[in-house]
Amino acid sequence: MSSAATLSGRVAVITGGASGIGRATAILLAQHGARIFVGDYRLSSETSQALGAHGITASTCDVRNVADLQRLIDGAATAAGRLDILVNNAGIGMVKQIQAVSEDDWDNCLDTNFKAAFFGAKFAIPYLVSAGGGSIVNTASNAGLLPRAHDPVYSISKMALIGLTKSLALCHSKDRIRINAVCPGPVIDTGMMNSDLAAAIDPTATAKQFIAASPLADAHGRMIRPEEVAEAILYLVSDAACMVTGTAIAIDGGKSLGVPPRS
Ligand code: NAD
């Protein structure tokens, strides 16, 4: 994948880049030569400094707020003089059954996981057109491929995100804009997984359940690493993927394939 090794001269905005998959992606794309602008609503000065050590510019942005999102994207494109890549990665979980879901819960989850990707694309596309083409990657989930009983609102948000990916991919191929999704399985060292494990009565047993539900994670005896999702995003934004659009690539160790064999 030689052309994946160079993103030199490319400019990327990554939302939710302060931790987990977004942070790993920001660092990997920066290592491949891209100029990176991260937006996150939880941004400590330590995190900004740590990202700055990789040449990454970080700023506070709440992606649920459309004006904030536009400021992030316009600001990056203005500072760098162009924009080539958008990674809509910010996301939150929602482990609640329907009777417990308030309107605020719904808005919070859907605005973060779905609405922000739509408006992020809206604001990024004119810059990508000016650049002669570009790439948008949406961080969906295995829950977007196969809904899960424990988190219906999250599953709905990620299924909608995959629908958005395919629909916009169809609309903007003519502009040489490629729009794809990655669908991670259980990823260790992320805020999302850490809070799931912290909420569990027996975190060790829960971690084992996460691993057991994903056939390859089970075979490796570990969860997926943020860097392993970042590698897929690197491929999708690189010229190596110049004919790839509208896909939803599962980086889930086979979790969304079906029910794994009994051990
Ligand atoms: P994470 O919590 O480490 O990262 C999510 C980031 O998004 C955080 O830095 C958070 O501050 C930021 N964020 C959340 N809401 C925001 C908002 N309104 N505005 C700006 N930033 C906001 O967890 P992660 O696992 O790295 O999550 C990244 C993506 O991966 C999410 O979209 C998540 O749904 C998806 N995902 C994660 C897993 C997993 O097992 N960790 C599995 C499948 C999909």
pLDDT in tens, the chain (263 residues): 444 458 999 999 999 999 999 999 999 999 999 999 999 999 999 999 999 999 999 999 999 999 999 999 999 999 999 999 999 999 999 999 999 999 999 999 999 999 999 999 999 999 999 999 999 999 999 999 999 999 999 999 999 999 999 999 999 999 999 999 999 999 999 999 999 999 999 999 999 999 999 999 999 999 999 999 999 999 999 999 999 999 999 999 999 998 877 76
Residue to mutate (ligand 1; options 192, 197, 228, 256; most atoms within 8 A of CB): 192
Give 173 Cα–ligand 1 centroid separation in angstroms.
28
Cβ neighbours, 10 Å, residue 83: 26
Residues assigned a catalytic role? 154
Asked if residue 184 has its Cβ within 6 Å of ligand 1, the reply is yes
**DSSP element (H, E) containing 172:** helix 152-172
Give 96 Cα–ligand 1 centroid separation in angstroms.
18
Q: What is the chain's alpha carbon radius of gyration, rounded to the nearest angstrom? A: 18
pTM above 0.85, yes or no: yes
Q: What is the reported pLDDT for 4?
A: 45
Asked if residue 162 has its Cβ within 6 Å of ligand 1, the reply is no
Give 194 Cα–ligand 1 centroid separation in angstroms.
11
* Cα–Cα nearest to 144, from 160, 131, 128: 160
The structural domains of the chain, ordered by start, are 3-188+225-254 (3.40.50.720)
Dihedral (Cα; 242, 156, 257, 241), 10-degree rounding:
10
CB 33, CB 57: distance < 8 Å:
no
* Cα–Cα nearest to 217, from 255, 258, 259, 256: 255
Q: What is the reported pLDDT for 5?
A: 53
Q: What is the reported pLDDT for 195?
A: 94
